[in-house]
Amino acid sequence: MEHAGFSPRGDQRPLPGPGWYTGMLPAMQIPLLSVTADPLDVEAMVRRVEDESGAGRHGAVAVFIGTVRGENLGRRVVRLHYEAYEPLAIAALGIIAAEAGGWWPGARLAIRHRVGPVAVGEASIVIAAASAHRAEAFQACRYAIERVKQIVPIWKRETFDGGEEWIEGAAADPSDAAARQAAYERACG
């Protein structure tokens, strides 16, 4: 006879923790374009973009994972800390997805960026692109990471042996056509 909270063998096992069920939720739970403080789940991003594409529509999924390197500019990196202007970051991801939709109409993109502390070796961004054929998937995926680096209002602060420093890259300007063209050319290699 089973008692609530006890296994049939009678030994007591704790109920699974709150994180247990998240893997069971449908992939639609993750937004297509998002920023999160949680660790990034590559499989979930693949499922999400596949859902967006629709079962059987895509013949290719290309994935980019950006990870934290342990060395930068000759110094040992201890950790990175990412900060975002979240509402504008989401809007910027939307701009990028719309641009990609213009170049590669059948492709679908999922982009998720992590904020907060990120350890060496951990992923800071995952991009998944699904399309009928592989050329478009690779190109849309590459285009997306190039544009993220150009226009999305996210900043990383590097903690290294001897100090810490905000890294400064591009002055974000979504209307800069030359930058957009450069990203497209890198994607089409």
Partner 1 sequence: MRITILVFAKLRDLVGAPRLDRDVAAGSSVEDVWQSLAGEFPAAAPYRAALSAAVNAGYAKFSTPVAEGDEVAFLPPVSGG
Element (H, E) at 63: strand 60-67
Question: In terms of Cα–Cα distance, which of 25, 20, 39, 19 is closest to 112?
Answer: 39
Cβ proximity to partner 1: between 12 and 175 the closer is: 175
Q: How far apart are CB 12 and partner 1 at their closest, in Å?
A: 46
Cβ pair 130, 108 in contact under 8 A: yes
Pairing of strands 163-166, 154-160: antiparallel
Tell me which DSSP letter residue 100 carries: H
Cβ proximity to partner 1: between 58 and 92 the closer is: 92
Cβ proximity to partner 1: between 82 and 104 the closer is: 82
Q: How far apart are CB 23 and partner 1 at their closest, in Å?
A: 26
Residues making contact with partner 1 (CB under 8 A): 66, 82-85, 87-89, 91, 113, 124-125, 145, 148-157, 166-175
Q: How far apart are CB 118 and partner 1 at their closest, in Å?
A: 12
